[in-house]
A and B are shown apart, each in its own frame.
Chain A
Amino acid sequence: MDHGAPVIDNIFGISWLSVNLSNVLMITVTSIIVFVLCVLGAKKLQMKPTGAQNVMEWILDFVKGIINDTMGWKTGKLFLPLALTLFTYILVGNLLGVITNGVFGGNVWWKSPTADAGVTLTLSAMVIVLSHFYGIKLRGGKEYVKDYFRPIPILFPIKLIEEFANTLTLGLRLFGNLYAGEVLLALLVGLTSSGVLGFFGGAIPFLAWQGFSVFIGGIQAFIFTMLAMVYMSHKVSEEH
């Protein structure tokens, strides 16, 4: 139960430079899986879609729908690759941790990359930074600055805080859901492996929770993508 993480602190003697090797592994694995699946899905493209192409087009239409819900398609199509990658990456990352957690040498190596606050906060910060970038790029610096004083100037401090709050909530929501799921799964694994009684007591809740985790994984991927696009549209759209 009490598994640690393969963390290396003080790399090169620099106190703030640290790495969780499990995260690095899982980020790499998730990225490769997403890449391979997407490329395989887009391998045999035909006018009449079959098999994997249907799935790819369904995902594309789904993400397109998310974007269309938040902003016009004219600016929205700019963010389609970002939203697609966010959705697929988070979905695959979420499901990896549900399928299995791998422990090696007392350390948790195999888990969801999205069950780490650093990873999710990186993603959310990237989205927020991109939203500021595109806000300035598409609407000009003047409009961008003016937006902080709308609808009334007194809201400026709150608007400023909102940017940080958005970053934190976007990242920590995903992290919290996934992390809680994994903690509970780990606890149930401990229960089922504790004895005969524990096995029968824990097996059914374990199955149920795993199913629920799959559901949560999908929902959280959707929510993250949706909110990323909502924050993006706040910055790039003319009207709110």
Chain B
Amino acid sequence: MHTFTDYSMIYAALGGLHVIDMAVQLFFFIVLLLLVKKFAWGPVMNMMQKREEYVAGEIEAAESSRAEAEKASKEALAQLKQTKQEAQKMIEDAKNAGVRQEKDIIESARSEAARIKEAAQADIQTEKEKALQALQDKVASLSVLIASKVIEKEISAQDQEKLINDYIKEVGEEL
């Protein structure tokens, strides 16, 4: 008896097919399909599509920018190389100029020194000559003076010697 009620219960729950249920299900499903397509999945699909395009675009942009960067870095490298070469050349030039200048300076200093030396030697020569001239003049007048003194006074040899020494000293002081 119990099993019979169970079966009948299941049959009742199975309940046969209700036409209105089916119609309602069909109607609701179609309405749901249209609404969800319009308000939910459509926008989501659009967004995904958009993202796909965006990502593709980004990848393309990244690739092109990478190529650009590579080109720029190559250019920079070339420029750097050129600049280095230029700098090297400038340094070399400066070195050469320095050496040349050094030589010039030494040369001119040497010639200057030689000139100064020559001038000094000439000066010394003239001064010497002048001094000799003066000495000669003095010796002449001195000898005249000594002679006059000798003549004026009779003096001992000792005194004479003393006298000569005095005069020579005098001359020396005058010189």
Contacts and interface: CB of A to CB of B under 8 A. Distances in A.
A169 interface: no
A119 B54 contact: no
Interface of B: 5, 9-10, 12-22, 24-26, 28-29, 31-33, 35-37, 39-41, 43-45, 47-48, 50-51, 54
B19 A38 contact: no
A56 B40 contact: yes
The A interface, classified by DSSP as helix, strand, loop or mixed, is: helix
A99 interface: no
A118 B18 contact: yes
Contacts of B44: 41-42, 45, 53, 56-57, 60
A35 interface: yes
Interface string A113-137: 1001111011100100000000000
Contact of A34 (B12, B15, B32): B32
Contacts of A80: 41, 45
Interface in A7-51: 7, 11, 16-20, 23-24, 27-28, 31, 34-35, 38-39, 41-42, 45-47, 49
A239 interface: no
Given A45-B43, A47-B47, A123-B29, A24 B12 contact: no
Contacts of B22: 118-119, 121-122
A68 interface: no
A231 interface: no
B117 to A, nearest CB: 92
12 contacts: A11-B20, A17-B20, A18-B18, A23-B24, A24-B24, A42-B40, A60-B48, A113-B25, A116-B15, A118-B18, A118-B22, A122-B25
B20 A24 contact: yes
Nearest to A1: B9
Nearest to A37: B40
A231 B39 CA distance: 28
Contacts of A183: 10, 13
B146 to A, nearest CB: 130
Nearest to B10: A183
B20 A122 contact: no
Contact of B17 (A27, A60, A81, A117): A117
A230 B123 CA distance: 128
A134 B21 CA distance: 26
Contacts of B17: 117-118, 121
Interface stretch (A82-90, A154-162, A193-201): A82-90
Contacts of A118: 15-18, 21-22, 25
B41 A45 contact: no
A53 B10 CA distance: 42
Contact of B32 (A16, A35, A45): A35
A31 B31 CA distance: 9
A35 B35 contact: yes
Contacts of A23: 18, 21, 24-25
B33 A47 contact: no
A109 interface: no
A20 B54 contact: no
A27 B37 contact: no
Given A45-B47, A117-B15, A122-B22, 8 more contacts: A18-B20, A19-B21, A24-B21, A60-B41, A89-B29, A116-B21, A117-B14, A123-B29
